[in-house]
Amino acid sequence: MFKHTLKIFKYFKKKFKPYEAQTICKFNINYINENLLSLKRPQKINKNEKFYIIRRTPGAGLFSNLIYILNHIKIADSCGLKPVVDMENFLTIYNEKKKIEGSNNSWNYYFENNQNYNLNKIYKENIFFLTSNRFSKNFSHSIDSQEYRKLFKKYFKIKKKYINYVNFFHNKYFSREKVLALHLRGTSYKTSANHPLPITLVQSENLIEKLMSKYKFSKIFLCTEDLNYLDNIKKRFGKKIIYLKQSYRSYKDDAFKIYPRNNHRFKLGEEILIESLLISRCNSFAFTNSNVSEFVKFLDKNKKIKYFLIENGFNSSNEYIAKWYWYYKNIIPSVLGGFKDTTNVKNI
């Protein structure tokens, strides 16, 4: 009886608990046990270079991982250690089963290291420190500072092909326009505990109308993973909307549940990186707080962008309630606690 009750409990817990993205590759456990965690080392060790190996598995979104890495780089740099990101042996949700541009390290899909270190050689021949796998409570969630920009520039750079593509896109679509970037999180954000609540379709229309009228924007660069937003806003505003056509979008939270195209996980990271780089080239940016907005502010070192923070309340901190709370507020009248037709916007 107890076993059956436990099975039923586990079933409903899995059914109602928000989905967490997982890796699609298997860990090379033998390699990790034999090389990373073994206390055995060759008699001759290179003591001239000491490394700080940064791991995060399975990790989270691309910029959540970046923020985590920058916090660790700060530690490594202050201790005189050389930081190296290992997302090859410690897999993330972006790792593909096959190499991308010759690499199994998902960090190297998007970023270049200023120094080319061989991870296998480091593990076998050098003294190294392996980080924990937790986001420390002492870590900063904000990377909008010259300190973090200098640390990133010292050790890494964004791959040149992405910079070139963004320059091309900007010159073609942005250069003669006054562009408002609008980042709308839907799908998984609607059910994320203790996260800002996404705006409704009606709120999104009213927001665009208000900002375009007041600030005379000629174009909207729309970034969203939710097809409901894209369909509705395109229908309402037509040719005023610019968006990245190749980016994956859907009507439900399935980006990390299905594999609809070649190199899908890699492309998910690539697309949000390109979109964020493009946002940083717009005149203004309207957004709900997320790691995407943190990365855009990180890129905007000269503070050229005018920011509009969308405030629509927060989801419940209870992950089971959070799964339904947005949908509940979306169907009940505003007088009973539902969403209003307009949302608060703060200039920051």
Give residue 330's pLDDT: 96
What is the percent of the chain where pLDDT is above 90? 85
Question: Any residues with CB less than 8 A from the CB of 112 and at least 6 apart, and which?
Answer: 156, 157, 158, 159, 160
Q: Which helix (H) or strand (E) holds 3?
A: helix 2-16
Question: C-alpha 145: how far from its chain's center?
Answer: 19
Q: Are strands 219-224 and 241-242 parallel, antiparallel or unpaired?
A: parallel
pLDDT digits (tens, 9 = 90+) for 98-115: 999 999 999 999 999 999
Contacts of 68 (CB under 8 A, 6+ apart): 54, 56, 59, 135, 139
Give the chain's domains with CATH numbers: 29-158 (no CATH), 161-347 (3.40.50.11350)
How many Å apart are CA 109 and CA 332, to the nearest integer? 44
- Cβ atoms of 186 and 200 closer than 8 Å: no
Tens digit of each residue's pLDDT (9 = 90 or more) over 54-82: 999 999 999 999 999 999 999 999 999 99
How high is the pLDDT of residue 40? 45
pLDDT at 38: 46
Could you tell me which residues are beta bridge partners of residue 308?
286, 347
* Cα(92)–Cα(96) distance, integer angstroms: 9
Tens-place pLDDT, residues 203-218: 999 999 999 999 999 9
Say if residues 277 and 124 touch (Cβ distance below 8 Å). Answer: no
Contact 156, 197 (CB under 8 A): no
Q: How far is CA 314 from CA 16, 18, 347, 348, in A?
A: 20, 16, 19, 19
DSSP of 228-250: HHHHHHHHHHGGGEE--TTS--B
Q: Please report which helix (H) or strand (E) contains residue 122, including its range.
A: helix 119-125
Strand partners, 50: 127
Question: Other CB atoms closer than 10 Å to residue 143's CB: what's the count?
Answer: 22
| Closest residue by Cα to residue 21 from 132, 95, 97 | 95
Instruction: List pLDDT tens digits, range 241-295.
Output: 999 999 999 999 999 999 999 999 999 999 999 999 999 999 999 999 999 999 9
Label residue 276 exposed, middle or buried (CB < 10 Å: 0-12, 13-18, 19+).
buried
Tallying the residues shown for the chain, one arrives at 348
What mean pLDDT value characterizes the chain? 91
Cβ atoms within 10 Å, residue 137: 5
On the CB side of 213, CA atoms within 13 Å amount to 6
DSSP 6: H
Of the candidates 139, 151, 133, the residue with the CA atom closest to the CA atom of residue 81 = 151
Q: pLDDT confidence of 39, banded at 50, 70, 90? A: very low
Token code pair at residue 343 = 């949302």
Contact predicate 66/147, CB 8 Å: no
148-207 residue pLDDT tens: 999 999 999 999 999 999 999 999 999 999 999 999 999 999 999 999 999 999 999 999
Helix (H) or strand (E) run with residue 291 in it: helix 291-299
Cβ(205)–Cβ(245) under 8 Å? no
